[in-house]
Structure 1
């Protein structure tokens, strides 16, 4: 049974998250329903990351097994036809070895979090970015972010319902890009690691926002990290600013 990797883009606004749920529509369900239009007995799929409700993706990866030996381009075209009108697109498909696993074969994940800093309400981007009204200082946020890069116990920055066996992770990079926009500025937080804890990115960005606003000193972020206590975390940023942008593998299946 051939196995295929799918690179997926989606707007998370109308979904209850990636993972299939009994009573709410999910991205996984949308893709699996499209697959069943091609092969009625197509089994379930696995993904690199279980994004939460409202979280978007421009580079999610999933794998599926099909009976037919599909041309990857025709497979992506057929799935995109059957995914309508859900805001989900298959950007690419590739046949992969049968031991490829979208989650367990991955060695890197990249996220983007968008913060728009302006007074006027967001209209076109209101489900695509977190709007912060008061000015933020990029240098203060970068200094605070530097306290989190590296190998740490991230208990403070993970959800209380996180199911990971250990809170210890290596955060390889946090960069903060400052992009001028009409009547404001957009801050683009980019985070890279082999894997992340549940709500880790949103917890980090929400805490860094406090540093940028002047409510926290950069060294307060280090104190919060060392506390290893969820209560020491800053506010959790909302889901709609978050994007899963890329998943890395030892060998790129879409190259």
Structure 2
């Protein structure tokens, strides 16, 4: 059966996360419903990352085995036609080797989190950013983030329902950019690693926001990490400011010949 990789952009607000669930809408389930319109046999797609409820994606990747060959362009167009009006778009499609696996073949995942500081309610970006009404100190947040880079036991920043076999992960980047606007400041977090624990990114950002607000000293991030206890974590921030930005493979499946 031919194997296809698809790149996906979606608004996570209407969905209870990526993974298909009974009786609630999911991104995976919606795409599989669209596939059922063009494929007579039931199929299951495998995503590179299981984003949580409300989390968005600009570069989610999935693969699917179909019972017949399609020109990638035609498959891309057919899926987007049957996905309407769902806020999901297939932005690239490619036929790949049968052993390509969107999840297990990924060598890096990059997430972006958008945090906006301003008094007036956000309107245009509502549902796309996490807003706080007070100022944040980016230097303190960067100092706190530095404690998290590298290979650590991230039990403190791991959801109690996380199913990963080990809490030990290597974090390659946790950088913060300050972007002034006419009405406030956006703090854009970029987080890179091969893989993540459940709620790890949102736990990082929620904790660093406390540092930026002055409620935590930057060194308390290290103390929380060393505690290896979930209770030592700061608050978990909301999902709607988080984006799965890109999934990296040894060979780009969408690069073409």
Q: Same fold (TM over 0.5)?
A: yes
Partner of 2:216: 216
Deviations along 1:58-112, one digit per CA (max 9) or x if unpaired, are 0000000112211111111110000001000000001111011110111100000
Distance 1:44 1:126 in 2: 32
Partner of 1:53: 53
What is the alpha-carbon distance in structure 2 between the residues aligned to residue 235 and residue 212 of structure 1? 13
Show the 5 A alignment for 1:76-95. Answer: 76-95=76-95
- Tell me the C-alpha RMSD between the 2 structures: 0.6
Q: Helix, strand or coil: the match of 1:253?
A: coil
Would the aligned equivalents of 1:42 and 1:65 in 2 still touch at CA under 8 Å? Answer: no
> Where does the alignment leave 5 or more consecutive residues of structure 2 unmatched?
none
Q: TM-score, normalised by structure 2?
A: 0.98
CA–CA separation in structure 1 for the residues paired with 2:234 and 2:16: 25
1:104-123 superposed matches below 5 A: 104-123=104-123
Cα distance in structure 2, aligned partners of 1:197 and 1:99: 25
TM norm structure 1: 0.99
Report the equivalent of 2:144. Answer: 144
Task: Indicate whether 1:23 and 2:23 are aligned.
Answer: yes
Task: Give the alignment of 1:1-255 within 5 angstroms.
Answer: 1-255=1-255
Give 3-state SS (helix, strand or coil) of 1:222's partner: helix
Report the Cα distance in structure 2 between the residues aligned to 1:135 and 1:198, rounded to whole angstroms: 28
Q: Does structure 2 conserve the Cα–Cα contact (< 8 Å) formed by 1:42 and 1:66?
A: no
Give aligned pairs, total: 255
Q: Which runs of 4+ in 1 moved over 3 A?
A: none
Asked if the contact 1:4–1:93 (Cα under 8 Å) also holds between the matched residues in 2, the reply is: yes
Deviation string, structure 1 residues 162-181 (Cα, Å, up to 9, x no partner): 00000000000011010011
Q: Distance in 2 between matches of 1:104 and 1:80?
A: 26
Counterparts of 2:45 and 2:153, CA distance in 1: 31
